[in-house]
Homo-oligomer: A and B are copies of this chain.
């Protein structure tokens, strides 16, 4: 089914006769435009892509079956989009309430009565949750690139390099190997800094005895990937090994739980339970995973208590972590594709606690 046909069905399902799409990943999904700003106006029988002058030529090259409209210089893209909807005599307009700011919404309401708008943001994002065959191929390529880069990093990383230097090598490799860019700001932390789950790389040099946490991904043909691995400089201490093995067990148990029909919350709980038994649950500071696709963080959210039913074709991360303040942390992350009988690990590379010197 074509993506625009999918949107047509969405309009029917939501009982709206127009849809304003401003989330750039949704725009890319539905019409292929990869600029950074634009609004799609989708009507029952036609589709427009409004962009400012910076993106007109690019949009014309990228999109099909969608009319590219250049907004006048200095005008407001939202006003233009709503004006176009008004001229088309739409009665009920869906919009991404989870993306559109209050200020934008209020600005637009002056032009059209507020009850014409229907919030459909989360539902629209859900339309991307099951990946089609073409997407799965692209995601697999992107994930595979991560595993190659991890294998390269194992040979590059040395005691004495700073976290920033390691991050720099990763980002350089990501693009050298064919990706457009890293899919998010590469995280490299070492020693006590590994206790910060999202600590940005610093000028700290890696010392002997340090745990090193890597978390990176590639954006390849617009599709993201995401992997986390842990290494240790020199020789792993017993405590490092113990915590590493506990997190690894939690991750493997959670991956094992993934299957069509299971609830996302059950996968979270599977990992949590292992950490609980090991007395470490209190150090788990985030949900177990998130969807990956055009966006590096998208649906489904695999988190505590989630009632979302896993379905074939979903792609998400499984990434339990333990973070002990003042000591350090460990997070192991893979991307999985949900299948009928279980799942396929897309970032399939070694999970041994890698030692370097």
A positions within 8 Å CB-CB of B = 34-36, 52-58, 73-74, 95, 97-106, 119, 121-122, 164, 167-168, 171-172, 175-176, 180-181, 185, 195-201, 284-287, 303-305, 323, 325
| Given A171-B172, A172-B168, A195-B57, also A103-B121 (CB < 8 A) | yes
Contact A36 B198 (CB under 8 A): yes
The minimal Cβ–Cβ distance linking A55 to chain B, given in whole angstroms, is 7
Q: Which residues of B contact A172 (CB under 8 A)?
A: 168, 171-172
The minimal Cβ–Cβ distance linking A271 to chain B, given in whole angstroms, is 13
Contact A58 B100 (CB under 8 A): no
| Interface residue from B53, B73, B171, B286 paired with A73 (Cβ < 8 Å) | B286
* Given pairs A97-B101, A97-B103, 18 additional interface contacts (CB within 8 A): A34-B200, A35-B198, A54-B198, A57-B195, A57-B323, A58-B199, A73-B285, A74-B304, A74-B305, A97-B106, A99-B101, A101-B102, A101-B121, A102-B119, A164-B175, A167-B175, A172-B172, A180-B200
Give 30 pairs: A residue, B residue, CB < 8 Å, sorted on A.
Answer: A35-B198, A36-B198, A52-B286, A53-B197, A53-B285, A54-B198, A55-B198, A57-B195, A57-B325, A58-B196, A58-B199, A73-B284, A73-B286, A74-B287, A97-B101, A97-B106, A98-B102, A99-B101, A100-B101, A100-B102, A101-B102, A102-B102, A102-B105, A102-B119, A103-B119, A164-B175, A168-B176, A171-B172, A180-B200, A181-B185
